[in-house]
């Protein structure tokens, strides 16, 4: 099963349901898209995230109504440093789509999706705790894994795996 | 949104008439490391807030300093009641990154052991859940059958719990000759055992009083809160990754997905008991159709060679040396692989930067999301029912904290 070449041309991917829906809604919010290893990734503008996820969730034709996961990747020392990653699932289409938003290290904050999906509450707290990314509008943005007085955010790449900081 | 709209996860002080009661982290019904902060008005729960993090092991951070193959034993420790499921999810994710196809025998062995793992996990759940509610005998019965499964795991891997038996590219080693007889012996007897558990519980008036109508969760709330597995299926959410997004050869097996109607503790119990029957059916199907052939992919730069080859072929010795000392590189990219663990969707998000160590491994653990449903289940109910509700979620704290 050799790897197929990834497709990152939006024109070639516009028939994928999730991307088609977003392009039909507001094409300017889609920064990029990629089809790799049978998985679709869409990069969105930070400001449009919640509205875009609501479009994906609420359209009766696709219903990406299940938020599997929220996490992040730290590309330190590159900028924009962080990618916040949302995995949403459509039980109707039996498809997943990965939504990503890039954030700079100096301004690592993004709107919380907890008002849309209460299940995002612990996931976003975890990302806040371990990466230091702030979620605006989260009802209880406190550390969840580490003690309240812990310094630093352990999943950042400039945080050592062992030894002293 | 119904009850979900009222879901407010805060610890701010409530009205004067309420008080805060801490349950755990050592309360027996929380099975170890979970603290539940209850705001109560008399015996009525006003708010409930799980406080987690007591077990946090930093596994996601640790993976970034390991070779890809060294991560497999770490995955055992996440959900220590079904280590094979975690092995499978991680191995499938890395195999997808590599574009690696594994032999059919390994695929079927993986399914067989995975379903045994589900049975073993459900048995621990059933035994401890029944014990939380006051039924001791079921616990002893369940441990008896679980012991049989742990012996099977010991036969194939040398370990009872932290098996690390699956490998990127297949299995660690061929199963011993008498394994299938042992599994068959177990599979033939087990359906009777399930009837024994049901005889003790299903129509038992005390059991029904403690579980029916308790800890209710609607299907809409389950989806909004990200619940999966029997926690969601007990509420009628008709979703099972093995059937709906098949992986690792599950499309070759026939099974039903049991669903509940009322979303209460009793329905979640019935769902898991039926899952025991379906899983043992799949084990029997795997035994009947088990293909012959290799158990490792033909990928010498990724899969360790057999011991015999190492002794006779210089290339095999070199590959072995290089894999162990330098690891193997994985093409840059990222994948998400979800599997149906006994608790729900266990997903691995693996990012590769093209080196021999993963750039990022994130585990989407079902217990963390399922635990969010506790507020909806318990608020407005009684303290005594919290124990039943927590038990019905079947949380594993290693899976919550990672």
Record the tokens describing residue B322, joined without a space.
């290089």
Q: Are B336 and A94 within 8 A, CB to CB?
A: no
Record the tokens describing residue A31, joined without a space.
């920064």
Query: For residue A105, is pLDDT > 50?
Result: yes
Task: State the Cα–Cα distance between residues B282 and B8, nearest whole angstrom.
Answer: 41
How many other β-carbons are positioned within 10 Å of the β-carbon of residue B35?
Answer: 17
* Residue numbers in B near A161 (CB within 8 A): 61-62, 64-65
Within 13 Å, how many C-alpha atoms sit on residue B386's CB side? Answer: 28
Which residues sit opposite A69 in a β-bridge?
A87
> Is the minimum CB–CB distance between A63 and chain B shorter than 8 Å?
no
Per-residue pLDDT tens over the stretch A42-96: 999 999 999 999 999 998 888 999 999 999 999 999 989 999 999 999 999 999 9
Task: State the Cα–Cα distance between residues A108 and A128, nearest whole angstrom.
Answer: 10
Tokens 């407010």, residue located: B8
pLDDT confidence of residue A131:
95
pLDDT confidence of residue B309:
87
Residue ranges in chain B modelled with pLDDT below 70 = 1-16
Choosing among A69, A78, A142, which should be mutated to test the B contact, i.e. which has the most B CBs within 10 A? A69
Q: Are A3 and B371 within 8 A, CB to CB?
A: no
Task: State the Cα–Cα distance between residues A123 and A69, nearest whole angstrom.
Answer: 7
**Backbone dihedral region of B4: left (phi > 0), alpha (psi from -120 to 50 degrees) or beta?**
alpha
Q: Are B11 and A140 within 8 A, CB to CB?
A: yes
Task: State the Cα–Cα distance between residues B381 and B370, nearest whole angstrom.
Answer: 18
* Residue numbers in A near B62 (CB within 8 A): 161
Size of interface A-B (CB pairs under 8 A): 112
Task: State the Cα–Cα distance between residues B269 and B126, nearest whole angstrom.
Answer: 8
User: Burial, B307: exposed, middle or buried (Cβ in 10 Å; 0-12, 13-18, 19+)?
Assistant: exposed
Helix, strand, or coil (residue A99): strand
What is the mean predicted confidence (pLDDT) over A92-118?
Answer: 93
> Is the minimum CB–CB distance between A118 and chain B shorter than 8 Å?
yes
> Is the minimum CB–CB distance between A51 and chain B shorter than 8 Å?
no
Considering only the C-alpha atoms of chain B, give the largest distance between any 2 of them, rounded to a whole number of Å.
79
Record the tokens describing residue B244, joined without a space.
């709906």
pLDDT confidence of residue A41:
95
Give phi and psi for B110, each to the nearest 5.
-60, -45
Task: State the Cα–Cα distance between residues B368 and A79, nearest whole angstrom.
Answer: 31
> Is the minimum CB–CB distance between A1 and chain B shorter than 8 Å?
yes
Record the tokens describing residue A42, joined without a space.
């869409």
* Residue numbers in B near A123 (CB within 8 A): 226, 368-369
Q: Are B99 and A85 within 8 A, CB to CB?
A: no
CA dihedral B24, B29, B33, B37 (to 10 degrees): -40
> Is the minimum CB–CB distance between A84 and chain B shorter than 8 Å?
no
pLDDT confidence of residue B6:
42
pLDDT confidence of residue B14:
55
> Is the minimum CB–CB distance between A120 and chain B shorter than 8 Å?
yes
* Residue numbers in A near B53 (CB within 8 A): 143-147
Global pTM reads 0.93
The alpha-carbon gap from B369 to the nearest alpha carbon of chain A, in Å, equals 6
Choosing among A88, A95, A145, A161, which should be mutated to test the B contact, i.e. which has the most B CBs within 10 A? A145
Task: Return mean pLDDT, chain A.
Answer: 91
Reported ipTM: the value is 0.95
Task: State the Cα–Cα distance between residues A159 and A74, nearest whole angstrom.
Answer: 11
Q: Are A155 and B61 within 8 A, CB to CB?
A: yes
Buried b (16+ CB within 10 A) or exposed e, B163-184: bbbbbbbbbbeebeeebeebbe
């Amino acid at each position: 099963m050799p790897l197929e070449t990834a497709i990152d041309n939006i024109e070639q991917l516009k028939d994928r349901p999730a991307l088609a829906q977003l392009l039909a809604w507001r094409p300017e919010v889609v920064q990029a898209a990629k089809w790799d290893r049978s998985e679709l990734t869409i990069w969105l503008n930070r400001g449009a995230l919640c509205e875009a996820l609501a479009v994906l969730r609420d359209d009766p034709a696709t219903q990406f109504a299940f938020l599997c996961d929220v996490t992040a990747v730290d590309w330190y020392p590159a900028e924009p440093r962080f990618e916040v990653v949302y995995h949403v699932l459509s039980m109707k289409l039996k498809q997943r789509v990965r939504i990503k938003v890039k954030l700079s290290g100096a301004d690592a904050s993004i709107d919380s999706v907890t008002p849309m999906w209460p299940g995002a509450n612990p996931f976003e707290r975890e990302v806040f705790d371990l990466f230091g990314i702030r979620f605006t509008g989260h009802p209880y943005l406190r550390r969840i894994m580490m003690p309240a007085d812990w310094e630093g955010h352990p999943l950042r790449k400039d945080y050592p795996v062992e030894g002293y900081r | 949104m119904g009850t979900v709209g009222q879901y407010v996860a805060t610890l701010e002080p409530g009205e004067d008439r309420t008080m805060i009661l801490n349950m755990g982290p050592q309360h027996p019904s929380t099975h170890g490391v979970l603290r539940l902060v209850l705001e109560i008005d008399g015996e009525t729960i006003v708010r409930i807030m799980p406080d987690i993090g007591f077990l946090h092991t930093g596994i996601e951070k640790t993976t970034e300093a390991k070779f890809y193959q060294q991560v497999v034993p770490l995955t055992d420790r996440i959900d220590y009641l079904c280590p094979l499921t975690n092995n499978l999810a991680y191995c499938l994710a890395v195999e997808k990154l590599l574009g690696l196809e594994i032999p059919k025998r390994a695929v079927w062995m993986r399914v067989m052991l995975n379903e045994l793992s589900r049975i073993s996990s459900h048995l621990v759940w059933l035994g401890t859940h029944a014990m939380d509610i006051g039924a001791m005998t079921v616990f002893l019965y369940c441990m008896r059958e679980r012991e049989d499964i742990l012996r099977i795991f010991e036969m194939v891997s040398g370990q009872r719990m932290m098996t690390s038996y699956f490998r990127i590219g297949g299995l660690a080693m061929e199963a011993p000759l008498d394994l299938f007889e042992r599994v068959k012996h177990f599979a033939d007897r087990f359906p009777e055992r399930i009837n024994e558990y049901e005889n003790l519980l299903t129509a038992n008036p005390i059991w029904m009083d403690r579980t029916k109508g308790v800890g209710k969760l609607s299907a809409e709330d389950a989806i909004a809160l990200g619940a999966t597995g029997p926690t969601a299926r007990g509420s009628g959410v008709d979703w099972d990754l093995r059937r709906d997004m098949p992986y690792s050869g599950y499309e070759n097996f026939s099974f039903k997905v049991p669903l509940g109607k009322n979303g209460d503790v009793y329905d979640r119990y019935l769902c898991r008991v039926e899952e025991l029957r379906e899983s043992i059916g799949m084990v029997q199907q795997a035994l009947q159709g088990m293909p012959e052939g290799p158990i490792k992919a033909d990928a010498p730069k990724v899969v360790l060679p057999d011991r015999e080859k190492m002794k006779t072929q210089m290339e095999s010795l070199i590959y072995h040396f290089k894999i162990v000392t330098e690891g193997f590189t994985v093409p840059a990219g990222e994948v998400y692989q979800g599997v149906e663990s006994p608790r729900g969707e266990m997903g691995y998000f693996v990012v590769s930067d093209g080196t021999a160590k993963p750039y990022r491994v994130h585990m989407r653990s079902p217990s963390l999301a399922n635990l969010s449903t506790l507020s909806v289940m318990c608020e407005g109910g009684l303290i005594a029912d919290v124990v039943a509700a927590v038990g019905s979620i079947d949380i594993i704290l290693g899976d919550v904290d990672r």
